[in-house]
Amino acid sequence: MIQPLAYIHPEAKIAQNVVIEPFAIIHKDVEIAEGTWIGSHAVINEGARIGRNCKIYPGAVISSTPQDLKFNNEYTRTYIGDNTTIREYATISRGTEEHWKTEIGSNCLIMAYAHVAHDCRIGNHCIIINNVQMAGHVHMGDWSIIGGSSSVHQWVKIGAHAMISGGSLVRKDVPPFTKAAREPLSYTGINSIGLRRRAFENDKINQIQEIYRYIYMRGLNNADALTQIELELPPSDERDQIVNFIRGSERGIMRGPSSNGEKE
- Active centre residues (catalytic): 118-119, 136
Q: What is the largest CA-CA distance in the chain?
A: 66
* Residue whose C-alpha is closest to residue 128's, from 78, 162, 178: 162
**Which residue type occupies 99?**
H
**Which residue type occupies 109?**
L
Task: Tell me if 152 sits within 8 A of 167, measured CB to CB.
Answer: no
* Residue whose C-alpha is closest to residue 146's, from 98, 103, 108, 197: 108
Query: For helices 222-232 and 202-216, what crossing angle results, to 10°?
Result: 140
